[in-house]
Structure 1
Amino acid sequence: MCFSDEKSAPGGEEGTGGSELRVEDVVLKAARSAGVIVKSAAVGALSMRAGEEVRGWMSAEELERHQRYALERLRRRDLITRGLARTMLSELAGCEPQELIFGKSALERPHLVSPALPGFDFNLAHSEERVVLAAAHGLRVGVDIEHGTRRVDHRSVAERFFSAYEQRALARLDDDGEEGQVSARRRRFLELWVLKEAWMKADGRGISAGLNEVIFDLDAQDAPRLIALPDDDPARWEVALTELDDGHLVALAWCENPC
């Protein structure tokens, strides 16, 4: 296989063999204790040889969708996403990567059709530079990733998608970062955003669930805490947040899988 479960070399480069994409463990202690596996791979670390191997695993539908990407960087990211998913999930399912069959829910949430693994769930997310996957048995999982320096119109987005509680918490933070640095307010905005996205992807209803009713508290304790949800009990959910060595923020949300 072209994917190896080792720490990436600096800059996400491949090893001397030139045929491997290094897969990294994303360390989230609470998630690991709950049995959630989180893996990541850099978009820039994919050789032509490895890419051809991944293409050989993909279904006809996946290949057709892959060819519709107009830009090479998007095709490359798609290959790494497919490769990461098929490599890690085939190991968990005990089959070959090309044997996996995927489907989507009515709300476009991907799931594993074959082999059938009752109670198993996974989720994928990507930024421009990195792909991340979360998977677990007996849990519903959602994951999101953004680089901590991403420039976003945080004021207008927060007004639209954040609760009044979260907006007040943001307003208390300094929005004047030093040159080349992200301000405390922008940083907190991104932390809240990836947490909301992770929960939304685990929940499965998409943005229609009402992001301004998904309320997080990042000030009361060391770990983020989900304090309110639309039509659900926040106490049954767990969330976690970490920063990778390359500056990416990764958020995870999970709860008991009712399926």
Structure 2
Amino acid sequence: MRSTDADAFLPLPAPPLLDREAIHVWIHDTGETRPRAVRDAARATLDRLLGGYAGDDRAPVIETGAHGKPFAPALPWLDFNLSHAGPYVAIAFARGQPLGIDIEPLDRRVAVDGVAARFFGAAETAALDRIEPGARQPAFLRLWTHKEAVLKALGDGLGFGLDRIEFDLADDGHVARLGRLAAEAGHPSDWQLRPFEPVPGVVGCLAWRGAPRVVQPLRLVS
């Protein structure tokens, strides 16, 4: 899902057809830096896209589930999820397929050792410890986006437990595979994971539990 010359810059309300074999991932640079302004811009972007998929100039009402995952009751056929990092917003859409997306800036400062020891599985923490210090933070952030994307696809949020979803890491710090997860979340082979870099310096992951689909990256023009 790296940006390519085929990425679309489309006016709305006319997003491309979203069929049952596809997932659309929209990336938008809001141009904002203040956290509240970014959140407001993310919501405006979501409203604009939902209206486009619904074929209606009016944005549908958005509600949240028990664990905070947003949904549009008027569009039961459309699943979506969003994340923002710095000025960037990522929003994923699919028909009849719950999904989760997360993006993180690589320059985000994190106390990697402390957070991993407290919230991650023992094997993940040990794998991070083996990575040379300069690559440890990017490895942690890639791993974090994978965990968050799965949690958001499940709809349970962080309350599900970060340590109940474990990934295997390659020696270079990239995520190799989903190794283990709690039984109620299915088998690792049930899951599709698509790491991506929407822009230089930002990493992300898209996750869903189901059959493979074609992921189409798109960009929204302000």
Q: TM-score range by the shorter chain?
A: 0.7 to 0.9
Distance (Å, rounded) in 1 between the aligned partners of 2:24 and 2:118: 33
1:32-54 per-residue CA deviation (whole Å, 9 max, x = no partner) reads 99511111111316xxxxxxxxx
CA contact (8 A) 1:141 1:253 kept: yes
Partner of 2:76: 117
Partner of 2:108: 150
Read off the aligned partner of 1:110 and give its amino acid letter.
P
Partner of 2:205: 251
Partner of 1:106: 66
The secondary structure found in structure 1 opposite 2:146 is helix
> CA offset at residue 151 of structure 1?
1.0
Residue 233 (1) aligns with residue 220 (2)? no
Partner of 2:3: none
> CA offset at residue 74 of structure 1?
3.4
- Greater relative contact order (Cα < 8 A, sep 6+): 2
Distance (Å, rounded) in 2 between the aligned partners of 1:33 and 1:239: 18
1:18-37 per-residue CA deviation (whole Å, 9 max, x = no partner) reads xx99xxxxxxxxxx995111
Distance (Å, rounded) in 1 between the aligned partners of 2:187 and 2:99: 16
Residue 77 (1) aligns with residue 77 (2)? no
Aligned-pair identity (%)? 33
Partner of 1:49: none
Segment of structure 1 superposing worse, 241-250 or 150-159: 241-250
Distance (Å, rounded) in 2 between the aligned partners of 1:224 and 1:139: 24
| Structure 1, unpaired ranges of 5+ | 8-19, 22-31, 46-71, 176-182
The secondary structure found in structure 1 opposite 2:72 is strand
1:25-64 pair list within 5 angstroms: 35-44=22-31
Read off the aligned partner of 1:204 and give its amino acid letter.
G
Greater Rg over alpha carbons, structure? 1
> CA offset at residue 223 of structure 1?
6.7
How many equivalent pairs are there? 195
Distance 1:136 1:220, change over 3 A: farther
| Structure 2, unpaired ranges of 5+ | 1-7, 13-18, 212-222
Q: Which runs of 4+ in 1 moved over 6 A?
A: 220-223
The secondary structure found in structure 1 opposite 2:28 is strand
Residue 205 (1) aligns with residue 156 (2)? yes
Distance (Å, rounded) in 2 between the aligned partners of 1:224 and 1:240: 11
CA contact (8 A) 1:43 1:128 kept: no
| TM-score, L = length of structure 2 | 0.78
The secondary structure found in structure 1 opposite 2:151 is helix
Higher helix share: 1
CA contact (8 A) 1:41 1:131 kept: yes
Residue 89 (1) aligns with residue 43 (2)? no
| TM-score, L = length of structure 1 | 0.68
Distance (Å, rounded) in 2 between the aligned partners of 1:87 and 1:33: 21
Distance (Å, rounded) in 1 between the aligned partners of 2:92 and 2:109: 26
